[in-house]
Amino acid sequence: MDRRSFIGSMAALGLQGALLKTSSAKTLLEDAAAGDKWRNKKKREKFDEDLIVFITDLHTNPGGYQPDRLRRVVADILKMKPLPQNVIALGDLAYLTGKPSEYALLKEIISPIEAAGIHLTMAMGNHDRRANFAAAFPKQAAESKLPDRHVFIVETPKADVIVLDSLQEGEDDTTWITPGALNDSQVQWLEKTLANYKKPVFVSSHHPIAELKIQALLADAPTCAGYIYGHNHVWDPGWVKKNYATYNVVRTLCLPSTGHWGDIGYAEFYLGEESAKCVLRQYEFFFPKPLEPGMTKPDLWTFMEEEHKGATCTFSYKKV
């Protein structure tokens, strides 16, 4: 091989080496991007953005039987794969009168949900106190859409959930007011919010819709897909009308207590493209409290448990 051929060969090898180096770098970048994409996908798969878990009527009672039943619910939520992206608690978080000690215990029991990366939203019920709740959960209270009430919007890719504040607080902090109501500013905010909504939206609060007197408002809202509430401690799908002259109705659903009395359990809410399905996870039934040691379980309690286990309620996003 002459000198010119040798130099040409070396140059070719150098070019090939440069190309290999460039190709390797490109491959490394592509592999890194693919790895990031895979990791992000896995990270997304840890949570289901289309799944909401509803809990309500926790009645967190220091020294009572309710806290252990709430711990059971929290443990089962954390076992879900993937985890729900959102958990919504629809009021009566405290036992009877919203004492600081009740919210302190609630914070201890429910904190693993937020620690797991799940977004937690909590509504006010007739056994709650706004100031005591806000002292225990300042970040939660700060997210409110209104300054004098705890009102939230839980956003998901397919549908949103508006969480209203139906608590009526009296001056006597040793008792409670059972009926629910919305103040004028909250109703005005809801009217404006629903009027501008473009995607399916659910409205929820602690009390039944009839107590809030918003049947006509929800029936007229084109994208409102239903109303979800607690208070009555029973799984109860239903519907309400605006009046007898219109075709629109509103699908409603009452949810069980996590552990106070009545139907005991929680609900998984799956959001689809054209509808949503709520699935009851029923543990037990008892009234007015769990059985004392040595007592025989009534046959009717067993019947109630079996009748409701696996019950579902479907909400269509379409109206008329």
Question: Domain residue spans in the chain?
Answer: 47-316
Burial class (CB in 10 A: 0-12, 13-18, 19+), 19: exposed
Residue 309: what pLDDT?
A: 86
Model confidence, pTM? 0.86
Q: How far apart are CA 202 and CA 163, in angstroms?
A: 9
CB 44 within 8 A of CB 52: no
Domain 47-316, CATH class in plain words: alpha beta
* pLDDT averages per 10-residue partition of the chain, 320 residues: 46 45 47 49 76 98 98 98 98 98 98 98 98 97 96 98 97 94 98 96 98 97 97 98 93 98 98 98 97 96 92 92
Nearest partner of 258 among 54, 55, 53, judged by Cα: 55
For residue 320, the model assigns a pLDDT of 65
Give strand ranges (E) for 56-123.
Answer: 83-89, 119-122
